[in-house]
């Protein structure tokens, strides 16, 4: 087998992030996913929604157009999810609503485990407890294949996940077991969310505002702004980050791009932190509808404006 080895700085590629947004009914997870997708693909780009929720995505068909819809019916096995994702590879962004069915839906991992448990125990209740863990083998192997597919997927993937309230048992100072509210927890395989680039929980009392369940990489803190709703501008920032992987130009090359680069956009977003309504103020000052359209020749002047605004 031949292997390609290159200097990392010379490798030009488009990042393909995978994101999970979890939440209970009314928390804005589907709306957040669609707004994120719209910003990522741009005003006229088309994204795909893979719908496991009996056409619920179509409740929003008058919003966020253009987008296409896939009717994904049971069984919701990991293998079926792989096939659905394969059908969506031509799109810049694919939303899966919901990813939770892979775990709890008809034909999903839990059903697969129960089917194997019944087969292995042959109806013997005494054997069922002992065989509970081994009966997960097939479901977990299939799930690993799905995760490998997700990791290698060529475009942005956004998974909407259901969430439900949970409790946990803890020992108090006297050693007595107490029941404690554990809050809402995503419904999915235990490690699913930690394979995502970003893994967030949204709540019905503050729809669309993410609580990060996994620490963001530093460069993504300027994409998913703390305390702010996920919206189209989040998608724009994520798209800029995804494109910020081109090899740097050398001294004898001329950069003739019209607008600021993705790296420059990230720097500007970092500088805007702590400036009230900074993004909107800068758009107005620059006369643009999105910050990615700031002319490259105005980059240094833009940084000077932000610094001055912070000091006044």
Peptide bond before 66: cis, by omega within 30 degrees of 0?
A: yes
Pair 148, 290 in one domain? no
- The total of structural domains in the chain comes to 2
pLDDT tens per residue, range 174-218: 888 888 888 999 999 999 999 999 999 999 999 999 999 999 998
Pair 63, 205 in one domain? yes
Query: 30 lies in a domain?
Result: yes
Q: How far apart, in whole angstroms, are the C-alpha atoms of residue 60 and residue 24?
A: 18
Structural domain that includes position 211:
13-216
Pair 176, 271 in one domain? no
pTM of the model: 0.78
Q: What is the dihedral of CA 150, 153, 156, 160, to 10 degrees?
A: -20
Pair 88, 171 in one domain? yes
pLDDT tens per residue, range 107-125: 999 999 999 999 999 988 8
Query: 4 lies in a domain?
Result: no
**pLDDT, position 203:** 96
Residue 288 C-beta-side C-alpha neighbours within 13 Å? 16
Pair 163, 39 in one domain? yes
Pair 152, 267 in one domain? no
Looking at 216, 240, 265, the residue that finishes a domain is: 216
pLDDT band at 65 (very low <50, low <70, confident <90, very high): very high
- CATH for 20: 3.40.50.300
């Amino acid at each position: 087998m031949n292997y390609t080895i290159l200097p990392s700085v010379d490798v030009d590629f488009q990042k393909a992030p995978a994101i999970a947004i979890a939440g209970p009914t009314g928390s804005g997870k589907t709306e957040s996913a669609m707004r994120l997708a719209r910003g990522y693909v741009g005003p006229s780009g088309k994204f795909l929604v893979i719908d496991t929720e009996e056409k619920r995505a179509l409740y929003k068909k008058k919003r966020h157009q253009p987008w296409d819809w896939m009717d994904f019916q049971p069984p919701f096995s990991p293998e079926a999810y792989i096939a659905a994702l394969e059908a969506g590879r031509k799109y810049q962004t694919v939303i899966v609503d919901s990813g939770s069915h892979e775990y709890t839906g008809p034909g999903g991992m839990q059903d697969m485990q129960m089917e194997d448990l019944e087969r292995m125990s042959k109806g013997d209740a005494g054997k069922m407890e002992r065989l509970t863990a081994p009966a997960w083998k097939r479901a977990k192997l299939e799930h690993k294949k799905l995760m490998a597919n997700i990791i290698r997927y060529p475009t942005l993937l956004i998974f909407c996940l259901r969430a439900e309230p949970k409790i946990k048992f803890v020992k108090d100072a006297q050693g007595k077991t107490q029941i404690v509210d554990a809050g809402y927890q995503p419904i999915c395989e235990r490690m699913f969310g930690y394979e995502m680039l970003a893994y967030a929980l949204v709540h019905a009392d503050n729809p669309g505002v993410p609580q990060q369940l996994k620490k963001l990489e530093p460069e993504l803190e300027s994409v998913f702004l703390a305390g702010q709703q996920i919206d189209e501008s989040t998608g724009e920032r994520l798209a800029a980050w995804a494109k910020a992987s081109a090899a740097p130009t050398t001294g004898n090359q001329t950069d003739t791009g019209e607008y600021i680069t993705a790296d420059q956009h990230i720097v500007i977003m970092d500088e805007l932190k702590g400036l009230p309504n900074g993004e909107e103020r800068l758009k107005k000052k620059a006369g643009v509808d999105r910050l990615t359209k700031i002319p490259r020749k105005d980059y240094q002047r833009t940084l000077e404006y932000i610094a001055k605004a912070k000091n006044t």
